Amino acid sequence: MLNKLWGFMILIGISFGIITGEVEALSNAAIDSAGEAVSLAITMLGIMAMWTGLVEITRRSGLLNILTQKLAPLLKFLFPRIPKDHIVNEYIAANIIANVLGLGWAATPMGLKAMKEFAVLERERTGDSKIRKASDEMCTFLVINISSLQLIPVNVIAYRSQYGSVNPAAVVLPGLIATVVSTVVAIIFCRIMCKKGENK
């Protein structure tokens, strides 16, 4: 669906450029945008590689395990059915920490690993090899990721810096307020829906 939407928007842009006689401007814009995209991708790749590497270092040094233990009460509240010492807790903690630091791209690998472990847990619970619907844990994890509490939006700051912002870090306070509100609402929503599911 999203691919169709983008394709439709591109076709509208090209058609409008042809109709208005701005084909040359359209071609120049396409070339310039392609160059900017490559430059931005290289910048973001460096940032992602650095932070993903740091997450891996914290995991191997045992620091991630300590942080997971510190987050244990929160994880128990959000995911009450997950065993205390299950590996998925470590993946969830790493994902949350990366998101809090505004590293959405770095959070993705740990998020995918967490989803994989959620699937394993759900198969063990149901005894079914095929999962036909998302579990409460999967839904809660996804909603929390979408709400994405951020203390330091590193990716956004990098984007703003890349495009010449005078004060790239000016988004920190508004972003913090917005993401705190969205995360609190997301957690309340998840707990209500989980309780309704348990009462059925």
Mean pLDDT computed over 163-188: 85
Domain that holds residue 155: 47-199
Instruction: Tell me the pLDDT tens digit for each residue of 66-94.
Output: 877 888 888 888 888 888 888 888 888 88
Please tell me the predicted confidence (pLDDT) of residue 25: 77
Give the total number of structural domains in the chain.
1
Q: Are 180 and 151 in contact (CB under 8 A)?
A: no
Q: Is residue 86 part of a domain?
A: yes
Q: Is residue 185 part of a domain?
A: yes
Please tell me the predicted confidence (pLDDT) of residue 198: 64
Q: Which of 142, 81, 91 is nearest to 113 (CA)?
A: 91
Please tell me the predicted confidence (pLDDT) of residue 200: 56
Q: How far is CA 113 from the centre of its chain?
A: 13
- Per-residue pLDDT band at 199 (split at 50, 70, 90): low
Q: Is residue 118 part of a domain?
A: yes
CA distance 3 to 26: 21
Say whether 62 sits in a helix, a strand or coil.
coil
Q: Is residue 187 part of a domain?
A: yes
Q: Is residue 151 part of a domain?
A: yes
Q: Is residue 58 part of a domain?
A: yes
Q: What is the biggest distance separating any 2 CA atoms in the chain, rounded to whole angstroms?
A: 65
